[in-house]
Amino acid sequence: MNKLVATDIFKAFKTGAYHAQVLSDISIDIIQGETIGIIGSSGSGKTTLLQILAGLEFPDSGEIFFNDINLSINNAKQFSIMRNKLFGYTYQFHYLLDDLTVFENCNLVFQISNSKDINKNSKKIFETLHELGIDKLQNNYPYMLSGGERQRVAIARAIVHEPMFILMDEPTGNLDHENADVIQDLTIKLAKDHNIGIMVATHDLNYAQKLDKVFRIENGGLVSK
């Protein structure tokens, strides 16, 4: 079973004389197919932890491993090589590009990874949109979509390339109760159906309790719930 492991992660942000220790000695791991929730008050470091796990932010010390491969060495060269295979990422604010259709937003992932098999990629996008119940919206632009639909597109974009892990930053943070519930169940179903490890930062305790494991960031440390 493939595993992503973070060991002894420390991270501080320094702005001028101000030094904020955000993460202090955090270790966590996730295997494929597992769903993990990261909770904690606003500013506690949830986003920072997800960014570090994806290699989008670098810790002051500590390392990230994929199985036995240390992703953090050689200026994170391994991260660049393996990021696309390993990760999908959804942001709190959906970050769809307004000038691109739903289909084109999803196709960006393949363009970035220089994947040129257009037929295969298109088929995969259609299948994914269908699975998420938004295939009829493929030619629509983001402004034409509801909040819940946009979040589904963001999730589709995170999984079309079949990553092993998805890191989700407050995927239901801006949705009403009903839509949040649907997205929560959808993400959990995706994890189980596709054997994807999902780590989700959330404020929503209702979401957290549906996940396999939950940790709270408290004073920079990780507490198991």
By beta-carbon proximity to ligand ADP, the closer residue of 45 and 59 is 45
- The answer to whether 90 contacts ligand ADP (rule: CB under 6 A) is no
Buried b (16+ CB within 10 A) or exposed e, 2-35: ebbbbbebebeeeeeeeeeebbbebebebbbbbb
Binds ligand ADP by CB under 6 A, chosen from 40, 88, 142, 148 = 40
Q: Which is it for strands 3-15 and 61-66: parallel, antiparallel or unpaired?
A: antiparallel
Site mask for ligand ADP (CB under 6 A), range 111-150, x = bound? ----------------------------------------
CA–CA gap between residue 46 and residue 22 (Å, rounded) = 9
Owner of token pair 């929503």: 204
Identify whether the C-beta of residue 162 lies closer than 8 Å to the C-beta of residue 195: no
Identify whether the C-beta of residue 85 lies closer than 8 Å to the C-beta of residue 91: no
The minimum distance between CB 41 and ligand ADP, in angstroms, equals: 7
The minimum distance between CB 184 and Mg ion, in angstroms, equals: 17
- The answer to whether 128 contacts Mg ion (rule: CB under 5 A) is no
> Long-range contacts for 128-136 (Cβ within 8 Å, ≥24 apart)?
128/156, 128/159, 128/160, 129/102, 129/103, 129/156, 131/190, 132/156, 132/186, 134/102
Which is nearest to 80 in space by CA: 93, 91, 69, 90? 69
The minimum distance between CB 170 and Mg ion, in angstroms, equals: 6
- The answer to whether 44 contacts ligand ADP (rule: CB under 6 A) is yes
120, amino acid identity = K
- The answer to whether 81 contacts ligand ADP (rule: CB under 6 A) is no
The minimum distance between CB 13 and ligand ADP, in angstroms, equals: 3
- The answer to whether 46 contacts ligand ADP (rule: CB under 6 A) is yes
Looking at residue 128, the DSSP 8-state letter turns out to be H
- The answer to whether 48 contacts ligand ADP (rule: CB under 6 A) is yes
Residue 62 touches which of Mg ion, ligand ADP, none (CB < 5 to 8 A by kind)?
Answer: none
- The answer to whether 121 contacts Mg ion (rule: CB under 5 A) is no
Site mask for Mg ion (CB under 5 A), range 33-62, x = bound? -------------xx---------------
Interface with Mg ion by CB under 5 A: which residues? 46-47
